[in-house]
Each structure stands twice: as structure tokens, then as C-alpha cells.
Amino acid sequence: MKAKITTSDALLVLLLSRVNDLKDIALVTELPVEEVKDILEDLVSKGLVFSRKTGILVKRIIYDLTSKGYDEALRIYARIKQDMTLLGELLDNGRIEDARSIISIYSNVLWLLKTLRLIDERILKELL
């Protein structure tokens, strides 16, 4: 079985979609702002993400990918797309249990699959 996609991996991919405001990221992930901030700061320390403050009256923290982070995010996204293609093929062939094993890899980051519209909500309900 493949390794699970971590929340850190999912956040890198989410940053590809231009959701980059700390509060917006927390809203999409349904995680507490402080937890998201801690994960993003870890990614900053690894050189995958950088942060900056914006706004004159209302201060916001914006996160974006470094070139290294961009390459890593693309690699992860390609893996997810490949897995979702395989998932569709398994479902088309009636291999529900094999499809469930694929979706279990993403159990902690289902929000990412929904946000990027990589899986239909109806299919997801059928598999869970």
C-alpha cells in the first residue's frame, strides 16, 4: 500500500490552487488556524514555502511556494491525479474494495480532493 498523503503534502498542493491566505487555508482544511500555521511554518523551515505579510489596515499572512516547493507540489499533485484515475478504473470494473484501499490513503485530506474537484461527493459517500 502507498503511504498516506500528509496534511503537509496536501497544503503544498492547495497552495498550487492559489488559496494562500492563512485564514482561507484554515477554512478550506477545517483545521484550527494555529495548527495550519504550525504546519506551514514547518514547510517554511524546509524551504518549500515562504510567507509574507500584506495589507495596510488589515494585516494578513500570505503563504506561497518556493521553486522547490512548487516542484514538490506538482509531484504530489501528479500522484493524486494518477490515484484518482486508478480509482475511477477500479470503480468502473466493480472493484469496490480495491477502490476503498486507494481512498483510505487520502482519509485525512479528503477536503483536498473535494476542493480541487478530484472526486465526486457521491462517489466519496459510496466508498466511505
Tell me how long the chain is.
Answer: 128
Q: In the predicted model, what is the mean pLDDT of the chain?
A: 90
Give the end-to-end CA distance of the chain in Å, rounded to a whole number. 18
pLDDT in tens, 71-123: 999 999 999 999 999 998 998 898 988 988 888 889 889 899 989 888 877 77
Which residues is 64 bridged to in the sheet?
50
CA 78, 79, 82, 84 dihedral sign is negative
How far apart (Å, rounded) are the C-alpha atoms in residues 103 and 101?
A: 6
Residue 66 confidence (pLDDT):
97
Q: Residue 55 — left, alpha, or beta (φ > 0 → left; ψ -120 to 50 → alpha)? A: left
Per-domain residue ranges for the chain? Answer: 7-118
Residue 46 has pLDDT above 90, yes or no: yes
Q: What is the mean pLDDT of residues 31-52?
A: 96
63: which strand partners?
Answer: 51
Please give the average per-residue pLDDT across 56-73, as a whole number.
92
Smallest CA-to-CA distance from 22 within 80, 64, 70, 57 is with 64
Asked whether the beta carbons of 77 and 16 are under 8 A apart, the reply is yes
Q: Which fold does the domain 7-118 belong to in CATH?
A: Arc Repressor Mutant, subunit A (1.10.10)
Q: What is the pLDDT of residue 70?
A: 98
Confidence label for 33 from pLDDT (cuts 50, 70 and 90) = very high
HEC sequence for 25-48:
HHHHHCCCHHHHHHHHHHHHHCCC
Pick the residue with more confidence: 106 or 124? 106
Per-residue confidence (pLDDT) for residue 120, from 0 to 100 = 77
Q: Does residue 1 have a pLDDT over 70?
A: no
Mean pLDDT of 49-71: 91
